[in-house]
């Protein structure tokens, strides 16, 4: 216990200081400028002004109409830089090929970061509306167009108050979140050196506009991919005894993979193995030589990650051998780098939660949001205190929920000013708390 006592004392002091701050119980002369609750309310009021809201919608719709996949976000990056230039905000570009990292504030410590991802998905949009995707086979089906817009909105709100900021804010417009670990590459290029904490929002289609949700500790799973090729001996389907059928071998491997979770894993240690595609053969009367299949696996700990890689490989190779075939398994750790779990830092979570309660009301801040989806925001959490919140994007009048990564995915644009204000408030209040702790 003695080893942890300094950290415990620090956490208690942080909690007490934060509570005093958010309860406005400090003497007035110890809080220069606008009181935190007033500042946060003023940020939201500014973001909801009709002119500001109209600008947010225009920006989001332009991004939505021209979706770009990972590390190909050139038009999106140019739009971001044009808006930052118009605001007089300096930035570094290119970061991780197409990314932009802008800077607002005093230029001094502390350094705080806000992050938005900006890539789209290879999905054909099936919603017929005025601003649907104009690029065939590509769509913003995960809300990254909204994320980028909300961060640009925060940039505008913060730039108007730059003289009152007690530190420096990095605005991270990040490429390549969808499977390509853009966050990892941003960090590798040392674009966030010295940053102590980082915050991000992700739209949630199942939560009504005006509410947010998150949880301390593990929030999202880690994720990896695998690609298997089963090789046998092809031949005529009328003479299967003269072949080594890779379709049968692959089919049995697919069934056996499900036992890793159902029969080998502790039910309290969440894991997922899912096969997303299988390819083999083109004719009904021909047994092919090879079958290819692939999928994803999810985990909440480093131990689970190691175990699942080992067992997925063993199961596929062993099942292939049972049917006199061979198999190779590729986990694509360079091209599709596995994501670690997203773990919310406790102090950052409490800070963002407190700001959210002042911005939206205590009843609009939910504890929850855990899921087995993966996010490369997790890489930031390995280097600094990181917290992500889900922000409600469901229209109050809607009685249906379209999930993320759906060709029918849509959001209520009323989320945009709320997200912009929340970003700005979390950053500005972070500096006030930090100064009080000195």
Q: Nearest to residue 233, comparing CAs of 221, 248, 218?
A: 248
- Please report which helix (H) or strand (E) contains residue 351, including its range: helix 346-360
By three-state DSSP, how is residue 269 classified?
coil
Q: Is 325 annotated as a binding residue?
A: no
Give the position of tokens 């730059």: 162
Residue 434 marked in a binding site: no
351 is in an annotated binding site: no
| CB atoms inside a 10 Å sphere around CB 152 | 28
Nearest Cα to Cα of residue 325 among 389, 262, 251, 275: 251
**Widest Cα–Cα separation across the chain:** 90
Written as six digits, the tokens of 246 are 């890779």
Question: What's the distance, Cα to Cα, between the start and end of the chain in Å?
Answer: 26
Short-list 141, 187, 207, CA closest to 368 = 207
Cβ distance 256 to 246 under 8 Å? Answer: no
DSSP letters spanning 101-157 = EEEEE-SSS-EEEEEEE---BS-------TT---STT-B--SSHHHHHHHHHHHHHH
**Residue whose token pair is 């030589």:** 289
Residue ranges at the known binding site: 142, 144, 178, 202, 405
Residue ranges at the known binding site for Mn(2+): 142, 144, 178, 202, 405
């Amino acid at each position: 216990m003695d080893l942890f006592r300094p950290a415990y004392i620090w956490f208690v002091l942080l909690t007490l200081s934060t509570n005093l701050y958010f309860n406005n119980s400090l003497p007035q002369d110890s809080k220069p400028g606008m009181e935190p609750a007033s500042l946060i309310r003023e940020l939201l009021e500014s973001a909801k002004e009709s002119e500001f809201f109209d600008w947010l919608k225009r920006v989001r719709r332009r991004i939505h109409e021209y979706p770009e996949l990972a590390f190909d976000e050139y038009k999106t990056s140019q739009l971001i830089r044009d808006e930052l230039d118009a605001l007089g905000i300096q930035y570094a570009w290119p970061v991780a090929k197409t990314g932009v990292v802008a800077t607002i504030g005093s230029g001094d410590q502390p350094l705080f970061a806000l992050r938005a991802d900006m890539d789209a998905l290879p999905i054909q949009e099936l919603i017929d509306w005025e601003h649907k995707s104009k690029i065939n086979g590509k769509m913003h089906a995960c809300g990254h167009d909204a994320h980028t817009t909300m961060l640009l909105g925060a940039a505008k709100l913060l730039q108007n108050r730059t003289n009152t900021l007690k530190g420096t804010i990095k605005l991270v417009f990040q490429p390549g979140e969808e499977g390509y670990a853009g966050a990892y590459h941003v960090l590798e290029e040392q674009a966030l050196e010295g940053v102590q904490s980082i915050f991000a929002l992700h739209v949630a289609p199942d939560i009504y506009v005006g509410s947010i949700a998150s949880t301390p500790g593990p929030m999202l799973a880690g994720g990896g991919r695998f690609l298997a090729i089963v090789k046998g001996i092809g031949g005529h389907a009328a003479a299967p005894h003269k072949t080594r059928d890779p379709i049968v071998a692959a089919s049995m491997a697919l069934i056996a993979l499900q036992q890793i979770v159902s029969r080998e894993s502790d039910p309290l240690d969440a894991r997922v193995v899912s096969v997303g595609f299988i390819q083999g053969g083109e004719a009904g009367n021909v047994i092919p030589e090879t079958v290819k299949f692939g999928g994803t696996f999810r985990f909440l700990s480093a131990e689970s990650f190691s175990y699942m890689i080992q067992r997925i490989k063993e199961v596929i190779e062993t099942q292939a051998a049972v049917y006199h075939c061979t198999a190779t398994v590729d986990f694509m750790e360079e091209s599709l780098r596995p994501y670690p779990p997203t773990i919310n830092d406790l102090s950052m979570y409490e800070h963002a939660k407190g700001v959210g309660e002042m911005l939206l009301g205590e009843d609009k801040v939910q504890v929850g949001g855990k899921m087995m989806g993966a996010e490369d925001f997790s890489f930031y959490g390995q280097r600094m205190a990181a917290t992500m919140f889900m922000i409600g994007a469901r229209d109050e009048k809607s009685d249906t929920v379209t999930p993320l990564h759906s060709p029918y995915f849509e959001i209520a644009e009323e989320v945009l000013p709320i997200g912009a204000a929340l970003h700005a408030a979390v950053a500005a209040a972070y500096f006030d708390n930090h100064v009080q702790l000195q």
